[in-house]
Amino acid sequence: MTACTVPGPVSPAPSGASPGAGNGAGVGLDRAARRVLVANWRRHATVPAARLYPHQWSWDSAFVAIGLRHLSPVRAQRELESLFGAQWADGRIPHIVFDPAVPADAYFPGPSFWRSTGIPGAPAVPTSGIVQPPAHALAAWLTFRADPGAARARGFLPRLYPRLVAWHHYLTTRRDLTGSGLISIVHPWESGMDNSPAWDVPLSRVTPVPTAEFTRRDLDHAAAAERPTDTDYGRYVRLARDYRDAGYADSLRGHGFAVEDPLCNALLAAGEHALAAIAAEVGADPAPHRCAAARLTHDLTTSLYDGGTFFPRDAHTGALIRTYSIGGLLPLIVPGLPVAAELIATALSDRFRLAGACPVPSYDLTADDHDSGKYWRGPGWINTSWLLWYGLHLHGETAHADDLRRRLLDRVRRSGFREYFDPLTGTGHGTDDFSWTAALVLDMLRSPAPDLDQVA
Ligand code: 9WN
């Protein structure tokens, strides 16, 4: 690859698009989605779900902004601004920004576990110390596009651009743990797909903290059979505690779990395309971002792709983790990906049944350990299906994309704004009135095809 210089840190209005999936039922769904987003708004950001997740989450806010821009472009801008207001001096965007008004024991692990305010360079507001997939640059660009006039009047992109650059800089420097050019996640929560079977092998090397040492709060609001196990939680707590006790320092040796995840790297590459468009808008040089996108796309494809899908790589052993999860198909969101046709063939195969299962399953339907009701071990989620829809359009597969959109809207119309769904029966699972389900449904109702302008 050619060497290139990557830069260092540096009032409600309708969208105008007609709501609906082509019939009157779309109007009711549109109204119901708006109601969820209004109910989950808290002063300057949206909570993913009122009881189960009562704070601001990083990649949730990106998806929420993508939907919220149709309801209120300014509110969508504020969603992202409040998240980036909690950026650390090293550039990281924390996976949770805690609301000090919410009782300390409402969510575990809370502020007293992460102890972020004692870390030099962390913001005054308490946050977690880990990150989530970098969907933000794409969300910022789409938010800008919803109402460029309002965004320009508020200086939205000129203020956000240096923060987005610092965020990507943190990932491409501090999180390139192996020197491969790809970024690593250091906790399953960082993948956004917490208990995916893809993490089972690297996680098995982590000694769980005894359950007597912590109190889960998630089981107060969701069925245990649909959530990660206590042993999973014991391992999550061990990894987070070790990271905290090391002052949130990043090194391969210091992390008990380190994985090069296809989705995070793909979102970063897609995000560099979005940053190129943002740079052009704010009068900065787009070329380094185009260069970074090309490099990431090359490294992702040469390192993690094999035989029709992308696999995560265990950074400690160097081995590919050969499980088929939805994250392996999502590099489809990267413009110019050379293996798009192969990914679509895998999506259509019995493993994912793109043409029938809905939402698209999070994990291989043919695997012995597929569990259609358990969190990220089988159920379909709206955000990953939205990304697939976006990627299908990006690569010219409009018939499959339109069909997926129609079935996703129908699924939510019948089963509600649930957190996740059985991909074959459609039964809803997890919490109700889940923000990104509402936001992305709203987006697909208002935009029958995604806005690919300048990022494709
Ligand atoms: C831990 C908020 C988040 C999502 C994740 C999802 C779930 C949290 C949890 O909820 O994770 O971050 O407590 O289980 O897995 O993708 O961002 O909606």
Q: What is the DSSP string of 184-214?
A: EESSHHHHT-TT-GGGHHHHHTSPPPPGGG-
115 to each of 28, 125, 243, 244, 430, how far by Cα in Å? 44, 11, 11, 8, 28
Q: Are 375 and 195 in contact (CB under 8 A)?
A: yes
Query: Among the residues of 41-181, which ranges form H helices?
Result: 58-71, 73-84, 111-114, 136-146, 148-154, 156-174
Nearest-angstrom CA–CA distance, 160 and 82 = 11
pLDDT at position 16 is: 34
Q: Alpha-carbon distance 201 to 136, whole Å?
A: 29
Give residue 1's pLDDT: 41
The residue whose CA is least distant from atom 14 of ligand 1 is 194
Instruction: Classify residue 218 by its DSSP letter.
Output: G
Q: Please report the pLDDT score of residue 25 as a whole number.
A: 66
Rounded Cα distance between 220 and 51, Å, is 9
Ligand 1 centroid–CA 259 distance in Å is 18
Residue closest to 423 by CA, chosen among 387, 383, 371: 371
Mutate to test the pocket of ligand 1, among 58, 95, 194 (most ligand atoms within 8 A of CB): 194
pLDDT at position 9? 45
Residues 6+ apart with CB under 8 A from 289: 7, 272, 273, 275, 276, 279
Which amino acid type is present at position 341?
A
Residues 12-70: tens digit of each pLDDT: 233 333 333 444 568 899 999 999 999 999 999 999 999 999 999 999 999 999 999 99
Q: What pLDDT is attached to residue 26?
A: 80
Which regions of the chain are under pLDDT 50? 1-3, 6-23
> How does pLDDT run across 144-165, given as a tens digit for each residue?
999 999 999 999 999 999 999 9
pLDDT of 43 reads 94
Catalytic residues: 194, 419
Instruction: Please give the distance, rounded to the nearest whole angstrom, from the Cα atom of residue 240 to the centre of ligand 1.
Output: 15
Question: Please, are residues 383 and 267 in contact by the beta-carbon 8 Å criterion?
Answer: no
Mutate to test the pocket of ligand 1, among 57, 193, 383 (most ligand atoms within 8 A of CB): 57
